[in-house]
Chains A and B, each alone.
Chain A
Amino acid sequence: MLVEQFKHGLNAPICLTWEWTYACNLACAHCLSSSGRRDPMELSTDEIKSVIDELQRMQVFYINVGGGEPTVRADFWELLDYAIAHQVGVKFSTNGLRITPERARQLAATDYVDVQISLDGATREVNDAVRGPGSYDMAIRAMENLAEAGFENFKISVVMTRQNVSQLDDFAAIADRYGAQLRITRLRPSGRGADVWDELHPTAEQQLELYDWLVGHGERVLTGDSFFHLNALGSEPIPGLNLCGAGRVVCLIDPVGDVYACPFAIHDAFKAGNVRSPGGFAEVWQSSSLFQELRGEQTGGACRSCSAYDVCQGGCMAAKFFTGLPLDGPDPECVKGHGATALAAVDRAALPPQGTDHSHKGPVRSQPVSLGMPALKVSRPDRFCDESPLAGMEAR
């Protein structure tokens, strides 16, 4: 299986997420990058272009651009064109803010670009509780504009929470309505996601519901590497990338140029370097000691004796790290229940702090008001390896 080749890393990433700004018009409760305010040290237009040149030389054929809300950068459309002209295809994640009818037509007419609209509830009520008032309507308007412009197969990206697992069929129907493809991802305790993870991560019964749904519908639904920890639930593996690719095939470049092993691991422990340093991104990818270490043999620790280890691999490194669990032990959502047991023994006061915080400081117009939860802190979520990095891939 390819997983074996991937474990030792590739010459260049195949699942590169690049956040172009920490600025965001929203304040989603579970934002993985704690976005809100622009960072004064963000990469300039020219710096971004020179990293794109480098990616072209490394043959990174496409990137997942996110933020923050990437389209709030005044140079967003210029950078998009630049990347495409340099054989670096772009999928960008957006809350829909700037997807006007004109922009939708422009995007529909552009090759090598894909758009991913974030939506975390199939109803206004469920979505806006996490993403803030007005965010559902904004996302739907963007979808209407894309569909109207003839943009086929854009992505709708949903972070699965306790409140929306029951809406899976409704999400699929929304995707069908707009000729889009559904992508669902896991809520990870990263960024502001750590503050809401306890209340929002799906229950054990919901994990099973999700697994069953994916086994039935998985071929049409993108999941990236979100749910391989659920493979331990049955004999049928979920389509998608079934290993933690952090530092091996996955990485993040953040808005100030720091390179992390994974978009869900913004913390010094997973920082490999900065694109501004001599040698640039290529040097960081190829030689950083952190990435070398991640590409070495992993021990598996307490999971080694588990019958499901081959398909589950102990789950998500970031989820373990931010919930205070050992990296070589079970995932906090281990379907055999070992995560829950381990979590109970964790000293909550000693959890690792999140790496950077660009959250809005004051109230925001679109402040989410949680459903039956204590008022949440505020900004926006997901984006990750756009589709499965292996979508449509043939293993030869």
Chain B
Amino acid sequence: MPAPTASFSPDRGYRLNPNVALRPEPFGALAYHFGNRRLSFLKDLALVELVEHLGEHPSAREALATLPAAQHEPTLRALAVLAATDMIVPV
């Protein structure tokens, strides 16, 4: 997995890039970016749910509130990668 390049800051608001479609899959979802034609795999349903509703929260950190604390760090790392690949964008 490449290291995130674009800077991601958990205190900003993000949303799913309007250029990205999520396709439900048994394990989570497949995200397709129509602009850069990248595929990403969201490998669990909680992350899919979070990403779908990300835009409704003032910041990425606040969006995590519903998840168990132990998942906050890994989820922030996942979001950082999604931001680096332009799958989610700042609001």
A joins B in a complex: yes
- Flag if B37 contacts A62 (CB, 8 Å): yes
Bound state CA distance, A13 and B32, in angstroms?
A: 13
- In the complex, the chain A residue whose C-beta lies closest to that of B48 is A396
Residue B1, interface by CB 8 Å = yes
| Stretch from A3-11, A168-176, A313-321, A360-368 contacting the other chain | A3-11
Residue B12, interface by CB 8 Å = no
Bound state CA distance, A394 and B26, in angstroms?
A: 18
* Set B25, B27, B39: member contacting A389, Cβ < 8 A: B39
Bound state CA distance, A12 and B1, in angstroms?
A: 24
Residue A87, interface by CB 8 Å = yes
Chain A nearest CB: distance from B88 CB in Å?
12
CB contacts (< 8 Å) of A389 on chain B: these are 39
Residue A340, interface by CB 8 Å = no
CB contacts (< 8 Å) of B25 on chain A: these are 5, 10-11
Residue B78, interface by CB 8 Å = yes
**CB proximity to A under 8 Å, residues B18-69:** 21, 23-27, 30, 32, 34, 36-43, 47
- Given the known interface contacts A5-B43, A10-B30, A61-B32, the answer about A392 and B23 at a Cβ–Cβ threshold of 8 Å is no
Bound state CA distance, A395 and B47, in angstroms?
A: 13
- In the complex, the chain A residue whose C-beta lies closest to that of B43 is A396
Residue A59, interface by CB 8 Å = yes
Bound state CA distance, A62 and B37, in angstroms?
A: 9
**CB proximity to B under 8 Å, residues A361-396:** 389-390, 392-396
Q: Please report the total number of A residues contacting B with Cβ < 8 Å.
A: 20
- Flag if A87 contacts B40 (CB, 8 Å): no
Bound state CA distance, A5 and B44, in angstroms?
A: 11
Residue A349, interface by CB 8 Å = no
- Given the known interface contacts A5-B27, A11-B25, the answer about A395 and B38 at a Cβ–Cβ threshold of 8 Å is no
CB contacts (< 8 Å) of B37 on chain A: these are 62, 89, 112, 392
- Given the known interface contacts A59-B23, A89-B37, the answer about A394 and B2 at a Cβ–Cβ threshold of 8 Å is yes
Chain B nearest CB: distance from A222 CB in Å?
13
Bound state CA distance, A11 and B25, in angstroms?
A: 6
Residue A2, interface by CB 8 Å = yes
CB contacts (< 8 Å) of A2 on chain B: these are 41, 43
Bound state CA distance, A11 and B82, in angstroms?
A: 22
Bound state CA distance, A394 and B81, in angstroms?
A: 8
* Set B26, B32, B43: member contacting A395, Cβ < 8 A: B43
- Flag if B82 contacts A396 (CB, 8 Å): yes
- Flag if A12 contacts B23 (CB, 8 Å): yes
**Chain A 37-52 interface 0/1 with B at a Cβ cutoff of 8 Å (1 = within):** 0000000000000000
Residue B85, interface by CB 8 Å = yes
Chain B nearest CB: distance from A281 CB in Å?
15
- In the complex, the chain B residue whose C-beta lies closest to that of A8 is B26
Residue A14, interface by CB 8 Å = yes
CB contacts (< 8 Å) of B32 on chain A: these are 59, 61
- In the complex, the chain A residue whose C-beta lies closest to that of B24 is A11
- In the complex, the chain B residue whose C-beta lies closest to that of A89 is B37
CB contacts (< 8 Å) of A392 on chain B: these are 36-39
CB contacts (< 8 Å) of A112 on chain B: these are 34, 37
**Chain A 62-99 interface 0/1 with B at a Cβ cutoff of 8 Å (1 = within):** 10000000000000000000000001010000000000
Given contacts A11-B23, A61-B34, A395-B40, 18 further A-B contacts (CB under 8 A): A5-B26, A5-B41, A59-B21, A61-B32, A61-B39, A87-B21, A112-B37, A390-B39, A392-B36, A392-B37, A392-B38, A393-B38, A393-B40, A394-B41, A395-B1, A395-B41, A395-B43, A396-B42
Report B's interface with A, CB cutoff 8 A. Answer: 1-2, 21, 23-27, 30, 32, 34, 36-43, 47, 78, 81-82, 85
